[in-house]
Amino acid sequence: MKIVIQNGRIIDPSQNLDRTANLYIARGHIVGIDTPPEGFEPNQTIDAQGKWILPGLVDMQARLGEPGHNQTGHIASETKAAVAGGITSLCCPPDTDPVTDTQAVAELIQRRARQAATAFVMPIGALTQGLKGERLSEMYALKQGGCVALSQANQPIQNPLILKNALEYAASHNLLVLLRSENQQLKNHGVAHSGAVSTRLGLPSIPASAETTALARDLILVEEAGVRAHFSQISCARSVEMIQQAKQRGLPVTCDVAIHQLFLTEMDLLDFSSLLHVSPPLRSQADRDALRMGVKTGVIDAIVSDHTPLGRDEKQLPFGESQPGISGLETLLALTLKLVDEKVLSLSQAIQLLTEHPANILGLNCGSLQTGSSADLVIVDPEDYWTLTSDSMLSEGKNSPFIGWEFNGQVEMTLFQGRPVYLANAV
């Protein structure tokens, strides 16, 4: 199959490329930009005049509901939702059921993803068996099984000696470790940020120090171990400062933020909507502004969806009893482009945070439109305004607080390995 995409504005930060040109695809790979290979005769021509051609997005944190029991969504449904949002590569954390702490589970996830054939799914292995924080997993076997990194998902290791051993073992095998810093004693079963709003609503609170004290410990252990570490879902202004200082000292660390943390704050909890129950919690306006400055200045390296599809029963409960999480695959790009509209990011920065940077952190050959790379790309109509509705969402989890929001920049088509896998609002 040979495809030519004509007259689109090709934006690829990995090549410092932003110009109108033709893009040529053959046998699932990009074979030329501007100039076709010799003898190229397309089977299909796509007119992209007035549209953007972007690398397929790379999402470092998306739960797919599988494997699991009584979960909402599965790999086939959630990867369809991913490509509807322009995401062609995504990492799933190890808090599956069973936990991704064996090679067999990692291979099962990849096999189901290959059967769905919609997007590239990369499992993240568990640092400890069963995510219990007690005994280390077989890390090397997980790497051999296709895991691109190791983490504890939202269940950070509390015992510093076990974490130290885990980081040193990961460093000895040159494994990337994703760390979510949170002190469970300071969290104390809280559900909302510690501040005026949680006090007014009578919700058990989580202080910023639950994140920052754990982050301080983790940074010291990362420095001692010399491991490549990526801090997931930072949420506090002080965390941004600490990561910045660590980078200035030369530590091999990176970090990301969940896209909803760049728009929502504790003030949004005032109507008690459980759709806003997330972990880490929505913080103060000052924290949100610091996170925005973090992505603008490059301290924060990537933006993730933190996609967690949940059913109606899991969200239609009192705030504190509901499950935390937002269905985020279909709004990751749209919300990031809203940051461009609000002059927080340039368009190139926004695309870089969703493509080149996460690919580089993971050490993967994706998130780029370079000649020879897999033809994973998205065509966006920047003039198309649309409104998110529950009916239009392809994810089986409709738990989005952004339903009813208007966005500009509609994904018109997504190609994965040179095949169209999403067209407008129908797969």
Residues belonging to the active site: 306
- Residue 37 token pair: 């290979």
- Residue 42 token pair: 């397309």
- What amino acid occupies position 156? P
- Please report how many Cα atoms fall inside a 13 Å half-sphere around the Cα of residue 253, on the Cβ side: 33
Rounded to 5 degrees, φ, ψ at 356 are -60, -45
Cis ω on the peptide bond leading into residue 67 (within 30° of 0)? Answer: yes
C-alpha dist (Å) from residue 306 to 64, 361, 408: 11, 17, 22
**Crossing angle (nearest 10°) for helices 285-297 and 237-248:** 30
- Residue 310 token pair: 């949940």
Q: What angle do CA 308, 164, 219 make, to 5 degrees?
A: 70
Q: How many other C-beta atoms are found inside a 10 Å radius of the C-beta of residue 219?
A: 21
- What amino acid occupies position 233? Q
106/118 Cα distance (integer angstroms): 18
Helix, strand or coil, per DSSP, at residue 421: strand
